[in-house]
Amino acid sequence: MRQCDPIIVAINISAGGVPKMPVDFVRVTINGLERDGHAHPKHIKPTRALSLMDEEIINTLRQEGYPVFHGTLGENITVRNLSIQDLTPGTRLVFSGGVVIELSELRKPCFVLGAIHPALEKETVGRIGYMARVITEGVMKVGETICISERY
């Protein structure tokens, strides 16, 4: 482990689609977050169990004039003090509550973002976070710290 100051600032779920709405805690299973639905069958894969992105990118997009907040872009987990885009596939994130996830692939913006703003899908390419697989199940809570484990 090398860093433990990043934290979860939001956990976001929805029955399907965006925006996802905040919850204080959630049970994390191999298949993803309980009570979070996937709107399209292509999203239901172990390597795409959940998505996460950093709050700093959301804040930058808001400063650029886009009407975004935690969950607007479809991310399940919003983090602070961690540049998700700078990490690589295979990096594991260990949450203080015991959940462990492994980053699998960069997220691709979904066409539904165009309903929020016509340019949003294009503007989020390369800065919309990661998809991840769940390594260790458990309960995740807002405010938990995150340790970055070297790539496996």
- Residue pLDDT, tens place only, 131-152: 999 999 999 999 999 999 976 5
The Cβ-side half-sphere exposure at 58, using a 13 Å CA radius, reads: 22
* Beta strand segments in 14-114, E: 21-23, 25-29, 32-33, 50-54, 77-80, 92-95, 100-106
Q: What is the pLDDT of residue 43?
A: 60
In terms of phi and psi (left: phi > 0; alpha: psi -120 to 50; beta: otherwise), the region of 71 is: left
Q: Tokens 């976001």 sit at which residue?
A: 12
Separation of alpha carbons 112 and 138, rounded Å: 30
CA distances from 114 to 67, 97, 109, 130, 143 (A): 12, 35, 10, 20, 31
Give this prediction's pTM: 0.89
Of 29, 57, 65, 54, the residue nearest 44 (C-alpha): 29
List the chain domain ranges.
Answer: 7-149
Question: Given a cut of 90, is residue 60 above it in pLDDT?
Answer: yes
Q: What is the pLDDT of residue 112?
A: 77
Question: Given a cut of 90, is residue 88 above it in pLDDT?
Answer: yes
Q: How confident is the model at residue 1 (pLDDT cuts 50, 70, 90)?
A: very low
Separation of alpha carbons 63 and 47, rounded Å: 32
Query: In the CATH scheme, what architecture does the domain 7-149 have?
Result: Beta Barrel (2.40)
Q: Tokens 């433990």 sit at which residue?
A: 4
Q: What is the pLDDT of residue 39?
A: 43
Structure tokens at 122: 């294009």
Of 49, 18, 47, the residue nearest 34 (C-alpha): 49
Question: Given a cut of 60, is residue 55 above it in pLDDT?
Answer: yes
